[in-house]
Structure 1
Amino acid sequence: MTVKTDAGSAVAERELPSGASLFTRGNAPIVIAVVALVTLGAFENRAVLTAMPTVLTELDAVTSYGLVGAAPLATYLVSLAAAGWWADRRGPVPVLRLGALTFVGGMAAVASASGLPALVLGRLLSGLAEGLLDVGVMVLVARVLDPVLRPKVVAMFSAAWVLPSVLGPVVTGAVTEWVGWRWIFIAGPVVLVPVWLALRPALRVARGLPQEEADAVASGEGPTRLRGILPWALLAAAALVALNLVTEQLTVQALTVSVAVVSGLAVVGLGASARRLLPAGALRAACGIGGVIALRGLVSASFMGIGAFLPLILTVLRDHGPLTAGISLSITGVTWSCGSAIQSRFSARPMTLLRTGFSLVTAGLVGTGLIVWAEAPTAVGLIGWALAGLGIGMTSGTLSVLIMSASDDSNQGRNNAGGQMAASMASAVYYAAAGAVLAIAGEPSRFAFGVIAGLAVALAATGLAASGRARCALPAEPAGKAALSPME
């Protein structure tokens, strides 16, 4: 299949693997490789979360849990900004290559750590690697696969998280207890070798594409040079870390002028950075790509935010053990995948998917909140949580596809990075607000959790009301690109 791509004045033709099936001879190696890379990242994520308490205990660094957790978040934002800029100019191959090398370095640093400095270094490198790989994979899919196949690949990405979500904590716990936690981090680079070898056909295809359009100046507002991006990304990372550290220490007695000033400066710095880093119109949810990016932030903050506190709610308010709390995470791993599969089946009706998905997330979070606000059975909350998982599977997959379809090769990297940054920034702000509520309350009470759940519902409802802002990102007949599947 030949695709013509417009980027400024540059027009180039390129050969892509043909066929509308994922598993033709040309497409299958690419699809298998990118799904394998996402699966490896999912296992790494679940394994690190499971093993980190043991790591910190053995290294006598439990009091630095917040620092170790914030380290990858800070570098992830910086990495996303740089990766988006780089991918637009040089394609996804160098971004993925550096991401893989950084991943190996981060895992090796943690595996060999004898104290806190090496552990923090490893987590910083892991955040860098995650941003590079996230952007690189999405740009690779956008450039080398038929647009009709993108919804299916996105659905497979969601499915790739199911097995790691179910088995990852169990396998990690067993290895940590029987062999040692260091082997968890040694295994990552070892598994990466066959995954990288499988990825080579896709990289060869990407390297063979013309790069004139990738060298064009990105359209739209915002910085177009790396030195104009990195300072804002660093400011955003510092603001998020400061905001979360301040709110963790917040109490009614500690509500001083200095705390208020630091929090205010962090919010202002974050807003200014977001204005420079995100696509134009994202902060006001403008109709078009800005609206899509804003919706990505709203749905991520609402769902991920309450998901982070649900295990605590089940154990503190409902007196359930770790098994029930773990089941809550497994439930959404499955329903998220189901929602993403629905997205791939009905990808020709993206607005219907968005409205339905946001409605399910909102209603599901209301159902989840009933175990906080009322004496509803725990099963009611878990059913609501399952519905929310179904909804975010539909919305997140649809938004990812819309970002790819609304972008060309001059801004594919920046827009995909913008979606990831919006999700991370919004979620981090939600965590900071929730942390402030818990700190001021003084204990994890029903009132505190009720406010936190209410905030999540409000964000989801806002996303539902604003879902129409994505309509302008649906080009009926995209100029210079292969025809997409019929849109509403």
Structure 2
Amino acid sequence: MFLTGFAALAVMPLLPVAARDLDGVVLYPLVAGAFVAASLLGGVLGGTWADRAGARRPLTAGVVLTVVTLLVSATSTTIWQLALGRFADGIAAGLVAVSVNVAIGESYPDHVRARALALMSACWIVPSLAGPPLAGLVAAWWSWRAVFFGLAGLTLLPAAAAVLLLRGQAPQAGAAQGTKEPETPVRRPALPAALAVSAAAALTQYGVSAWDVRHVVCTVSGLALLVLFAPRLLPPHTVRAERGLPATVLLRALTSGAYFTLEAFVPLMLSTARRVPGVVTGLAFTGAALAWAGASWLQGRLQDRVPRHQLVAVGAGVMAAAVALAVLCVLPAVPAATAVSSMVLAAVGMGLATPSLTLLSLTHAPAGGQGYASSAMQTSQNLGQTVVLALSSALFSAVSTATTGQLAPFVWAFALLVLPVAGTVCLAARTRMTSPDQQRAPEPAATTSHHAEPVDET
């Protein structure tokens, strides 16, 4: 997980450099969005595979594919090869993310899972501090390709070790689950639907990058495909926030969409409208990573003191305060550096809400369906990020064309985020366990010391 975080935080700042070097700046939005779009497909594949064969096989496939795709990206001679590498890397990330959740569900009783998730969040602290500057130095002194080659080499040995730790561990259907939800059937997502949703996400992210006929057609087509096919990848009645797993999956989409959209627009505002030094923007990402890890550690210590659904509501409330602070920072009289605190505050909310939603999803998963639940959560997170970011970007572009001011578009983009966080606060109670004794699952007869958790940072 340490290397996963390092790779995620090191690669993203290099993509604009690689796109320029490959004469493909025009297609940069497609390259940047390919990872998230493909992780939708990878999550569906990983969830179905994990329920059938346990966590080890999809995890093996995911880590091997990760190394291969890093090499594909490193040897890119065209922008299309780089986009292909990022798309394949997204599939690998989806496989790994779902497999790791299933591994935790198979290996740990409920009262230990929270601390395992907190430990995995802590693995992002050092990468957040060292990843971007080290990658920048390597790219400046040598080449951006060297970063991809180096990450492939570093990932190979620990990835093999993680796979070996799960060797011989068979899937334990429901062994570590607390709640069985017979009213939530395990409806396996169809592969064509997953492919359609991945294509729709890529179209949407490319389409909102500009306002012309071609981009509008791509945006409308992508959103139409999402509306048509996305419900087939989620539990029944997710849109209606039915109690249990459907509501948990929906809230993952709302919180992730709000956070990652805020994370996209605050640095943009700092670098363009407020003209702050780049080091300030870097501090925003570092502070957010530290805040997320700290809040995740805290929720692990509150396991037996505060119900999980209440932690979700509190986390969403903190995010609402962060959104309000971001809107306030648009005012010229407010110091620009104050916007950094909005990202940090939002990360605190996510550190409380995200692990809690992950644990609730494992608890609400039907018997033998932890892979299904993890896949639904991964898919929901990526869908939420795609849709909320697309809506905010479209609103931002529309206001930008209607006004000459630089700050007004940010006000509307931030204000839109009030809707998903307020919805999370209102719907958090629908994710609660039906009785207190379901907060703790019976400990399996045999447990392992394997630690793994996907922390989806884009």
1:450 matched to 2:391: no
Work out which of the residue numbers 284, 291, 295 in structure 2 matches 1:335. 291
| Other structure's SS at 1:249 match | coil
Q: Deviations over 1:333-366 (max 9, x none)?
A: 1111111011101022213312221111111221
- Equivalent of 1:249, from 210, 217, 227? 210
Identify the residue that residue 306 of structure 1 maps to in structure 2.
Answer: 262
Q: Is the 8 A contact 2:329 2:338 kept in 1?
A: yes
Show CA shifts across 1:269-318 (max 9, x none): 21232211011222111111111111111111111101111111112222
Task: State the alpha-carbon separation in 1 of the partners of residues 105 and 41 from structure 2.
Answer: 22
**Any residues of structure 2 matched to 1:394-473 within 5 Å, and which?**
394-408=352-366, 410-440=368-398, 441-442=400-401, 445-471=406-432, 473=433
- Look up the match of 1:324: 280
Structure 2 residue aligned with 1:273: 229
For the residues of structure 2 that align with 1:181 and 1:261, how far apart are their CA atoms?
Answer: 34
Structure 2 residue aligned with 1:167: 130
Corresponding residue of 1:107: 70
Q: Which one-letter code corresponds to 1:106 in the other structure?
A: T
CA distance in 2, matches of 1:97, 1:125: 15
Partners of 1:137 and 1:469 lie apart in 2 by 26
1:203 corresponds to: 166
Deviations 1:22-55 (A, max 9, x none): xxxxxxxxxxxxxxxx211111111111211221
Map 1:148-163; keep pairs closer than 5 Å. Answer: 148-163=111-126
Q: How high is the sequence identity, in percent, across the aligned residues?
A: 25
**Higher RCO (CA 8 Å, separation ≥ 6 residues):** 2
Identify the residue that residue 347 of structure 1 maps to in structure 2.
303
* 8 Å Cα contact 1:107-1:126 kept in structure 2: yes
AA partner of residue 305 (structure 1): T
> Residues 480 and 317 (structure 1 numbering): CA distance in 2 closer, same or farther, change over 3 Å?
closer
Q: Between Structure 1 and Structure 2, whose CA radius of gyration is higher?
A: 1
Offset from partner CA, 1:202-231 (integer Å, 9 cap, x none): 312524x56799xxxx9845743xxx6111
Aligned pairs for 1:231-250 within 5 A: 231-250=192-211
Deviations along 1:170-212, one digit per CA (max 9) or x if unpaired, are 10001111122222111222222331343245312524x5679
Structure 1: how far apart are the matches of 2:110 and 2:375?
Answer: 19
- The match for 1:229 is 190
Aligned residue number for residue 16 of structure 1: none
| In structure 1, distance between residues paired with 2:173 and 2:423 | 40
SS of 2:417's partner is helix
Aligned length in residues: 434
In structure 2, C-alpha distance between the alignment counterparts of 1:457 and 1:239, rounded to whole Å: 25
CA deviations on 1:62-81 (whole Å, 9 max, x unpaired) are: 22211211222222111111
Q: Aligned to 1:372, what secondary structure does the other structure show?
A: coil
TM-score of the pair, normalised by structure 1: 0.83
Between the aligned partners of 2:410 and 2:376, the Cα distance in structure 1 is: 30
**Contact 2:42–2:90 (CA under 8 A) maintained in structure 1:** yes
Judge conservation of contact 1:46–1:165 (CA < 8 Å) in 2. yes
Structure 1 residues 377 and 414: CA distance shift in structure 2, 3 A: same
The residue aligned with 1:89 is 52
Contact 1:140 1:206 in 2 (8 A): no
Deviation (angstroms), 1:453: 0.4
Going from structure 1 to structure 2, the CA distance change for 1:384 and 1:104 (only over 3 Å counts) comes to closer
